[in-house]
Structure 1
Amino acid sequence: MADPVMLIEEANSRGTLYAVVEQDDRTAYFYLYPSELLANKYSPRPCWLRNLQPAPEKRDVKAMEEGMAPMLEARYCNHPEGKAPLEAERIRIVWMEEEDGAAVLYDDELMGVIPGWTMYSEERSVGYAADCIGSGEDSQMFPLGTAATNQLHKKVAGAIAFRDDWADETSQTWSIFQKQFLDTYEAILGPVEKYYAIDGGKWPPIGMARFERDDVVYFLTLGVSIRPMPWVEMLYNDHAEGFRRMELGMAISKKDFDEKTIMALAGMVSGLADRPWRQVTWLGEGHTISFSEMPAPYESLVLSSALYNGPSLEMPQMYNDPVNLYWVSPITKAERLHAHEQPNGGYMLLEKMIQEGINHIIQPRNPIVAG
């Protein structure tokens, strides 16, 4: 057996996952590999694409024993006699909008898909291929089917349109989104005092606007919600659209904190904006995040939309999805540990905070959990 040859390799925008197409003289495969930093958290995911030689009648155990990619059995592929080898220049990788799954196109035709949710499944990996027409009981491969039989076609088409729009230098998409969010914020908080680009020069564009009202300094992000977050599709399934997009807010009493502390906290919010895609995770109501430089006595931040009790702030939609605005609030180490002691502990902590009169505005308070 010949050694496999890499035809294409492409990382997602944060280099957390790599999409690779390889083939040897028998078969061609599509893979998603985690980066070295995430190798202990996620495992490679394979997707068979085609056989280049006549397919075996039974499972290709011999190849697996020799550490080679197995050919797909004859009864499960639409070309039992084999197909021509793939040509690198005809291959295109398309990352899903969440950047945790990807598809491979050949001559602009959908050939294989590794959905993002399979990265989080401990049971087994799953791949979908256009040339697969059936699967065994314990198979990792499934037919891609048609747009009428498999929603992945719609998802990939959406990802292609999304990527192509943002790659178009004449697109006004960001200008439109930026205006919608700033108009929403300014309607409640007044004119923007300062605007910061917090994307580090990377796509997508993300900003943070500063406002001041009634001795409170506000920081609100915009652009974070351009990408849906990883994990959410698997966790919420048909209800994922209600949880997969977010922006972040911070309100801090100017009378109780100096400018240095205010900007340090704003920096932490800025750092959270890209966290879901840098770490292949997600952020939601009641999530806690530790920071090493929190002002005493605090040690972490908790995220919440429920803490907000100001004027009604109706967030714009993003790609027809609602956008959750999570306000950050500092908590002590004892409060964070208390939240982690039980399922849904973050919600319970927020309930206690609200009962104690704590809201979205950061100001001095007494701990609500002894420690």
Structure 2
Amino acid sequence: MSVLRRGGVSSRGSAAKVVHAAASPYGSRRLVIETDGDVTAAYLKDARDSVVGATWVANHRKAPPELDQSRLDTGDPPLLPESHVRHPSGRKALDGEALEVVWFEEGDGVAVLEAGDPLIVIPGWSDMGRGIPGYARDAAHQSPFAFPLDEEIENFGPRIEQARDHWKRCRADGSWAEFQQSVLGHLLQRLGPSGHYWHDVGRQLAGGRTAVSPTVGVSERPARSNREFTVLSTVGMSRQRMPTVELYEDDVAPYGRIELAVASTLPSQKAGSIFPWLAQYPWRSVTWFAPGDVVKWYHEARTFPLSSGESSWEGVLLLDDPTRLAGPEAPAMTGLTLGGDAVRWLWLVPITGEDHRYAKSEGSDALIRRLAQQGRSWVIS
């Protein structure tokens, strides 16, 4: 089945004009709206400039009675036939200045509004590799190039408004401080007084680009009389939902917001060095962290942050219930709610390359059982 252009190479040549372009706040997706004067199409691209989602937007001249296959053969988006469009005579060209781009909170989808009204939506599940396009206001019937937006506007309308509210809150003066204090207050109740605090640790892997979201800090909660280990927790990951959860879970609320934690007897500076890699990972890679996930280190094993002369760690296991492994009683971290969603803390446990392969082959539950049988502790030392 023919679909809109996908991949990283445009075949539209110099005839295509960019009407509007915008990058997501996380820097992992980019929206490009193009026209050749006859048809406008929108493309959602990844960091490698490959098209991951797309939709026909509008015809700008009289619609043909049938699909114009000749345009597809030359790599151009089609003039949709008159049976599939709301403006068979074509609509006027888009004014890029009149368009508002609203990125979903998760960063994996985007909406475009024209004069305040939804024009298109390319959600996270748009997949040109499988022939699933985005949604367009001017589409009257489903096709491989666009789904009618009005059929889903009851779902997308509130989501667009929620996304606008989210970014408005993020830009508001004092917003970060208010969020930060809510998480730090929760950590105080659950883990006791704080020690050191590291601000915006994810920027270390973002090349120092201050505009790349999300902002994530790390709070140290030193060992105390009733706890022999220090806890390091992220502060900021839960401020926004993770991408792609809705592709796997019917109810996003229990899984969408997380913070990461490490329990350790190592020096905090060393234990905390794991966080720059993971703090922005879901939004940078457009994925999510689920309980039981294993994440492989992206570089040589000897450079893994928690490595020592006696270990050969190459990744981490994410546990929502650390008591499945050996070790002391784990602190209860439940009770924080943001945006109506419960925040889940996932504990990081380093694993070897062989552990990672075993989890991928047999499943994370099998790995957890094996680590428990080996007496592996969830506290890093």
TM-score, normalised on structure 2? Answer: 0.84
Shift of 1:315: 4.0
Q: State whether residues 26 and 213 of structure 2, in contact with CA within 8 Å, keep that contact through their aligned partners in structure 1.
A: no
User: In structure 1, what is the Cα distance between the partners aligned to 2:255 and 2:240?
Assistant: 12
1:339 counterpart residue number: 359
1:231 aligns with 2:249: no
User: How do residues 155-170 of structure 1 correspond to structure 2 at under 5 angstroms?
Assistant: 155-168=159-172, 170=173
SS in 2 for 1:82: coil
Report deviation, 1:288: 1.7
| Residue among 213, 219, 238 paired with 1:203 | 213
Structure 1: 5+ residue stretches without partners: 364-371
Q: How well do the aligned residues superpose, as a CA RMSD in angstroms?
A: 2.2
How far apart in 2 are the matches of 1:331 and 1:211? 24
DSSP-derived class of the 1:160 partner: helix
How far apart in 2 are the matches of 1:311 and 1:268?
21
Q: Corresponding residue for 1:367?
A: none
C-alpha contact (below 8 Å) 2:322/2:330 kept by paired residues: no
> Percent identity between the aligned chains?
25
Deviations 1:328-367 (A, max 9, x none): 112223322221222xx1122123334555443223xxxx
Counterpart-to-counterpart distance in 1, 2:248 and 2:259: 20
CA displacement at 1:234 relative to structure 2: 0.7
What is the aligned partner in structure 2 of residue 126 from structure 1? Answer: 133
Counterpart Cα distance in 2 of 1:203 and 1:276: 11
Secondary structure at the counterpart of residue 329 of structure 1: strand
Letter in 2 for 1:140: F
Once residues 203 and 15 of structure 1 are traced to their aligned partners in structure 2, the CA distance between those partners, rounded to angstroms, is 8
Segments ≥4 residues shifted beyond 6 Å? none
Q: CA deviation at 1:164?
A: 2.1
Contact persistence 1:307–1:350 (CA under 8 A): no
Aligned to 2:206: none
**Is the counterpart of residue 140 in structure 1 residue 150 in structure 2?**
no
CA contact (8 A) 2:359 2:366 kept: yes
Name which of structure 1's ranges 263-272 and 81-90 shifts more when overlaid on structure 2: 263-272
Alignment check: 8 A CA contact 1:96 1:103 kept: yes
1:307–1:354 Cα contact (<8 Å) kept: no
The number of residues matched between the two structures is: 344
Amino acid at match of 1:110: P
C-alpha contact (below 8 Å) 1:30/1:104 kept by paired residues: no
Distance in 1 between residues matched to 2:94 and 2:341, nearest whole Å: 38
Structure with bigger RCO (C-alpha 8 Å, 6+ apart): 2
Question: How far apart are 1:27 and its partner, in Å?
Answer: 1.6
Report what 2:5 is aligned to. none
Could you tell me which of 264, 270, 283 is aligned with 2:270? 264
For the residues of structure 2 that align with 1:70 and 1:48, how far apart are their CA atoms?
8
Displacement of 1:208 in angstroms is 0.7
Which residue in 1 is equivalent to 2:122? Answer: 114
Deviations 1:165-200 (A, max 9, x none): 2223x3x43223212211111113221111111242
Matched, 1:94 2:98: no
Question: In the aligned structure 2, how far is the partner of 1:44 from the partner of 1:339?
Answer: 28
The 2-side partners of 1:10 and 1:318 are apart by 28
